[in-house]
C-alpha cells in the first residue's frame, strides 16, 4: 500500500496533473458540501430534541464541533504539506500549505466565536481563560503568524523553508488542545465524541455526521480553489518573466 | 434563559463565515484563471 501511495503523491505533485483532477473535483466537493451542510443544519435546528440539561443551546454542537475539527485538522494538513515540501521539495506542497492557512484560521475563529456564544447560556460567561479555550485561541494566533511569515517569505523571494518549519513546529499545539480538558480543570466538557463511542445520545448526535462531512468537503473545495488561484498567478508571472527577457 | 437567539447567532456566524470564504475563494480563482 505504502509503495503505491508515494508514487501517486509524486504524480499528483505535477501541477498539470493536479489541475486535471482539481478542475472537476472543485464543483463536486463544493456542491456535495453545501447539500450535506444544508441537511445537517436543517436537521440540527428542527429534527432533534433539546438536551435535558442544556436545552436548545445544544444545537450549537452541529457547527461548533466541525469548526474545531477543521481548525485543528487544517493545521495537520498544513504540517503534512510542510513536511512534504521539506522532504521532497515539491512546490505544490508549499502551495497547499499556504492555501490551507486562511480557511484553517477562519474555522479556528468560528470555533472560538461559536464556543463563546454557546458558553453564555450554558456556563453564564462568554469567555474563560482555561486550557481548552486558551490553547484554541493560541492556534488561531499561530495561524495568523504563519500567514504573516509566508507572505513575508514570498515578498523577500525566500525558498519557503522557514514557513514550512514553522508549520511543523506549530503541531505541538494540537495534542495540547486535544488533551487540555483532561490535563487541566476546565469549564469545557471532557471528550464526549470518540471514533468508536460517544456519550451523547444518538437522537441528538446524528445530524453532526452531515455537518462534519459538509464542512469538511466545503473546506477541501476552498483549499482547491485557493491552490488553483495561486497556480494561475504563478503561471502568469512566469509568462511575464519570459516576455521580459531580452 | 431562551437559548434560540444564541443558537441563531452561532449559526449566522458559522454559515456567514463559510459563505464569505467560499465566495472570496471562488472569485479569486476565477479572476486568476481568466
Q: What are the pLDDT digits (tens) for B4-15? A: 999 999 999 999
DSSP state of A47: T
CA distance A13 to A7: 10
For residue A80, the distance in angstroms to the closest alpha carbon of chain B comes to: 22
Q: Are A163 and A81 in contact (CB under 8 A)?
A: no
3-state secondary structure A97-164: HHHHHHHHHHHHHHHHHHHHHHHHHHHCCCCCCCHHHHHHHHHHHHHHHHHHHHHHHHHCCCCCHHHH
Residues of A in contact with B33 (CB under 8 A): 228-229, 232
Residues of A whose CB is below 8 A from B5: none
% of chain A beyond a pLDDT of 70 = 93
Q: What is the mean pLDDT of chain A?
A: 89
Residue A180 has a pLDDT of 83
DSSP result, A7-32: HHHHHHTSHHHHHHHHHHHHHHHHHH
Flag if A63 and B10 touch (Cβ within 8 Å).
yes
Contact by Cβ (8 Å): A164, A86: yes
Of A68, A67, A94, the C-alpha closest to A166 is A94
Query: B26-32 contacts: CB < 8 A, separation 24 or more?
Result: B26/A225, B28/A225, B28/A226, B28/A229, B29/A26, B29/A225, B29/A226, B29/A228, B29/A229, B29/A232, B31/A229, B32/A228, B32/A229, B32/A230, B32/A232, B32/A233, B32/A236
Q: Is A67 or A193 the better-scoring residue by pLDDT?
A: A67
Task: Please say whether the beta carbons of A85 and A164 come within 8 A.
Answer: yes
Closest to A229 (Cβ–Cβ): which among B17, B18, B29? B29
Q: What's phi and psi for A157, nearest 5 deg? A: 70, 30
Cβ distance A221 to B15 less than 8 Å, yes or no, reads no
> A2 vs chain B: nearest CA distance in angstroms?
33
Q: Which of B15, B21, B31 faces A222 most closely, judged by CB atoms? A: B21
Whether A1 shows a pLDDT value over 50: the answer reads no
State pLDDT tens for residues A142-179: 999 999 999 999 999 888 899 999 999 999 999 998 88
Q: Which residue has the higher pLDDT, A182 or A31?
A: A31
Q: pLDDT confidence of A7, banded at 50, 70, 90?
A: low
Does B14 contact A102 at a Cβ distance shorter than 8 Å? no
Given this model, what pLDDT does residue A5 score?
54
Q: How far apart are the first and last CA of chain B?
A: 52
Whether the CB-CB separation of A39 and A212 falls below 8 Å is answered with no
Burial A215-236 (b: 16+ CB within 10 A, else e): bbbbbbbbbbbbbbbbbbeeee
What's the pTM value of the predicted model, to 2 decimals? Answer: 0.90
Instruction: Give which of A220, A217, A230 is closest to A98, Cα–Cα.
Output: A230
Measured distance CA(A226)–CA(A96) in Å, rounded: 8
The average pLDDT across B15-32 equals 96
Check pLDDT > 90 for residue A237: no
Amino acid at each position: 500500500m505504502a509503495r503505491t501511495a508515494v508514487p501517486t503523491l509524486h504524480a499528483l505533485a505535477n501541477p498539470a496533473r493536479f489541475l486535471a483532477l482539481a478542475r472537476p473535483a472543485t464543483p463536486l466537493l463544493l456542491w456535495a458540501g453545501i447539500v450535506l451542510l444544508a441537511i445537517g443544519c436543517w436537521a440540527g435546528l428542527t429534527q432533534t430534541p433539546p438536551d435535558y440539561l442544556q436545552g436548545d443551546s445544544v444545537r450549537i454542537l452541529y457547527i461548533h464541533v466541525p469548526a474545531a475539527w477543521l481548525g485543528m485538522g487544517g493545521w495537520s494538513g498544513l504540517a503534512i504539506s510542510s513536511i512534504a515540501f521539506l522532504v521532497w521539495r515539491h512546490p505544490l506542497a508549499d502551495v497547499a500549505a499556504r492555501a490551507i492557512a486562511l480557511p484553517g484560521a477562519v474555522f479556528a475563529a468560528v470555533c472560538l466565536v461559536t464556543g463563546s456564544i454557546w458558553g453564555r447560556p450554558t456556563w453564564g460567561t462568554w469567555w474563560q481563560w482555561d486550557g481548552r479555550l486558551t490553547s484554541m485561541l493560541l492556534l488561531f494566533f499561530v495561524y495568523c503568524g504563519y500567514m504573516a511569515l509566508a507572505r513575508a517569505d514570498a515578498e523577500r523571494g525566500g525558498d519557503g523553508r522557514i514557513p514550512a518549519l514553522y508549520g511543523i513546529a506549530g503541531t505541538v499545539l494540537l495534542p495540547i488542545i486535544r488533551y487540555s480538558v483532561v490535563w487541566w480543570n476546565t469549564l469545557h466538557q471532557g471528550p464526549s465524541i470518540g471514533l468508536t463511542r460517544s456519550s451523547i445520545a444518538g437522537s441528538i448526535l446524528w445530524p453532526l455526521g452531515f455537518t462534519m462531512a459538509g464542512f469538511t468537503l466545503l473546506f477541501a473545495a476552498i483549499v482547491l480553489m485557493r491552490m488553483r488561484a495561486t497556480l494561475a498567478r504563478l503561471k502568469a508571472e512566469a509568462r511575464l518573466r519570459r516576455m521580459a527577457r531580452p | 434563559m431562551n437559548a434560540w437567539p444564541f443558537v441563531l447567532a452561532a449559526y449566522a456566524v458559522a454559515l456567514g463565515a463559510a459563505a464569505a470564504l467560499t465566495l472570496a475563494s471562488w472569485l479569486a480563482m476565477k479572476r486568476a484563471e481568466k
